[in-house]
Structure 1
Amino acid sequence: MDKAMLKKVTDFFSNRSTETIAEDCLGRKLIYDGPKGRVGGYIVEAEAYLGENDSAAHAFQGRRTPSVEPLYGAPGSVYIYSIHGRYCFDIVTQPKDVPQGILIRGLEPSDGIDIMKQNRSKGGVNLTNGPGKLMEAFGIHDCDLNLQLVNDCPFKMDLDHKRPFRKVIASERIGVNQDGKDASEPLRFNVAGNPYVSGILKRDSAPDGGWD
């Protein structure tokens, strides 16, 4: 990665709140150049996790195990983890050793759709309307890319352009410990009306996906 791109990645994934970064990821294209070819789409849902003081975060109360260690990496680092047998994709935010990040939860496919359908044996909105689903669609079943920087590894995010949309919805996160103090914080951001948002009801989906 050249210095200009490194600065762009560092600036995008730090120097502002993780909540702001998560929201700013919406509408951006995320690409994975995998062994079967290029796959990807537009981010429509992202969750913010705020580190040591966030009861839903992996680094809550300073937890620092080998599996969580990538979360303490440089801004823009990849943090992949497994939960219930499925893999999820996080991007580290904030300076090194400040363990905050964003979980990419939903993606509207645009590239390599046939490859993703083969990987998932499914199609339609069920292809990528959840964090484990989109990683399965990408064909990722390990954590080998941890600690590599976005845009300097097979994961690429377009930091220069966004697909315009009408409205963002902020709501509570999904699948976090409901007994924690931060369980109901509105830290899940999504493109309102997009059918690839996890858990959205069909009646709440907009025919145009919420795009302008």
Structure 2
Amino acid sequence: MTEILPESFFHQPTLELAKALLGCKLVKRTNQGIASGYIVETEAYKGPEDRAAHSYQNRRTKRTEVMFGNPGYVYTYQMHTHCLVNVVSNEVDKPEAILIRAVEPEEGINLMYERRGQMPAKNLTNGPGKLTKALGISMEDYGRAFFEPPIYIAKGYTPESISIGPRIGIENTGEAKDYPWRFWVTDNPYVSRKR
């Protein structure tokens, strides 16, 4: 039986939560069925003082509104043609979030192939836009809670080793591009980038 993590799990500092999410199971229920994967890569964004964060300098917009609320909620946004999924973290009015960058497929793999097409298994979910398409996560999930269906995070496994490095794709953010706020399960083949 899948054990959904309680709301209290999300009440921990952003960098700690970004590591604690590794090995947890991300699950999405749709009319087509259930698809899930173990989270193997995350990136933390620490709000007002982080130039790479959407909420830098407390920018409060229609898009970032959910980040100003309670932790444990879904922050989805469009980037080019992709939907990306984040876990809101920190306290109310401290807008921080954790991007889920990669998952290791677990349940509903045939459904993932239907959504993504035929390809090597390791390419199914090894990036933030790939995993949302594979799992059926969309902009409709914005503002939902990660601790109740149809989208939720459940207990998984504890990684033996966690690697740490700078975040990806944020070159124009000054010193923020070098913060070591990307975390991944060491040597997992589904991680989007090894370094």
State whether TM-score is above 0.5: yes
Counterpart in 1 of 2:123?
Answer: 126
Is 2:152 aligned against 1:152? Answer: no
Runs of 5+ unmatched residues, structure 1: 202-212
C-alpha separation between the residues in 2 aligned to 1:68 and 1:197? 26
Select the residue among 109, 132, 136 that pairs with 2:133: 136
C-alpha separation between the residues in 1 aligned to 2:108 and 2:83? 20
C-alpha separation between the residues in 2 aligned to 1:107 and 1:145? 18
Shift of residue 122, structure 1, vs aligned partner? 3.2
Encode CA deviations 1:17-46: one digit per residue, 9 max, x unaligned. 200000000011111111210001111001
C-alpha separation between the residues in 2 aligned to 1:35 and 1:99? 32
CA contact (8 A) 2:47 2:56 kept: yes
Q: Within 5 Å, which residues of 2 pair with 1:1-212?
A: 8-9=6-7, 11-14=8-11, 16-123=12-119, 124-140=121-137, 142-158=138-154, 161-200=155-194
Shift of residue 165, structure 1, vs aligned partner? 2.5
CA contact (8 A) 1:41 1:110 kept: yes
Shift of residue 132, structure 1, vs aligned partner? 0.3
Encode CA deviations 1:120-176: one digit per residue, 9 max, x unaligned. 003311100000000111233x42221111122311211xx3313321001000111
Shift of residue 72, structure 1, vs aligned partner? 1.5
Runs of 5+ unmatched residues, structure 2: none
C-alpha separation between the residues in 2 aligned to 1:75 and 1:109? 25
Q: CA RMSD in A?
A: 1.7
C-alpha separation between the residues in 1 aligned to 2:185 and 2:109? 21
C-alpha separation between the residues in 2 aligned to 1:162 and 1:31? 11
CA contact (8 A) 2:28 2:136 kept: no
The answer to which of 74-83 and 149-158 deviates more is 149-158
C-alpha separation between the residues in 2 aligned to 1:88 and 1:164? 24
Encode CA deviations 1:77-120: one digit per residue, 9 max, x unaligned. 11000101101000101122211011110100010000001100
Write out the 4+ residue segments of structure 1 that deviate beyond 4 Å after TM superposition.
none
Structure scoring higher RCO (CA < 8 A, sep ≥ 6) equals 2
Q: Per the alignment, do residues 153 and 121 of structure 1 end up closer, same or farther by CA in structure 2, a change over 3 Å counting?
A: same
Identity of counterpart residues, as a percentage?
39
Q: Name the aligned partner's letter for residue 119 of structure 1.
A: R
C-alpha separation between the residues in 1 aligned to 2:57 and 2:64? 13
CA contact (8 A) 2:49 2:57 kept: yes
CA contact (8 A) 1:73 1:147 kept: no
Normalised by the size of structure 2, how large is the TM-score? 0.92
- Residue-pair matches, total: 191
